[in-house]
Amino acid sequence: MKDLNIRKAGQAGRITFTRPKALNALDHQMARDLHRALDDWRDDPQVELVVIDAEGDRAFCAGGDIAAVYRGGLEGDHQIGRDFFRDEYLMNAAIADYPKPVVAFMQGFVMGGGVGVGGHASHRIVGDTTQIAMPESGIGLIPDVGGTWLLARAPGRIGEFLALTGGRMGAGDAIHAGFADIYLPEAEWPALIERLEESGDVAEIAAHGAPVSELATRDLSAFGGRTVEEITTALDSNGDEAALKAIRRNSPLSMAAGLDMVRAARGDRRIQDALSREYRFTWRASEMGDFLEGVRAQIIDKDRNPRWSADASPEYVEKMLASLGDDEIAWEEVT
As a whole number of angstroms, the distance between CA 87 and CA 93 comes to 10
Task: Give which of 124, 86, 1 is closest to 279, Cα–Cα.
Answer: 86
Task: Give which of 20, 16, 5 is closest to 51, Cα–Cα.
Answer: 16
As a whole number of angstroms, the distance between CA 71 and CA 80 comes to 9
As a whole number of angstroms, the distance between CA 188 and CA 48 comes to 21
End-to-end Cα, the chain, rounded Å = 22
In this structure, are residues 252 and 312 in contact, taking their beta carbons and an 8 Å threshold? yes
Looking at the annotation, which residues are catalytic?
64, 113, 136, 144
CA 297 to chain centre: 21
Number of H helices, E strands in the chain: 14, 9
Which of helix, strand or coil describes residue 306? coil
Instruction: Write the CB contacts of 3 (distance below 8 Å, at least 6 apart in sequence).
Output: 17, 18, 19, 27, 29, 30
Which of helix, strand or coil describes residue 132? strand
Contacts of residues 39-45 at CB distance under 8 Å and 24 or more positions apart, as own/partner, are 39/94, 39/335, 41/8, 41/13, 41/100, 42/98, 42/99, 42/100, 42/335, 44/8, 44/13
As a whole number of angstroms, the distance between CA 205 and CA 126 comes to 12
Widest CA span in the chain: 59
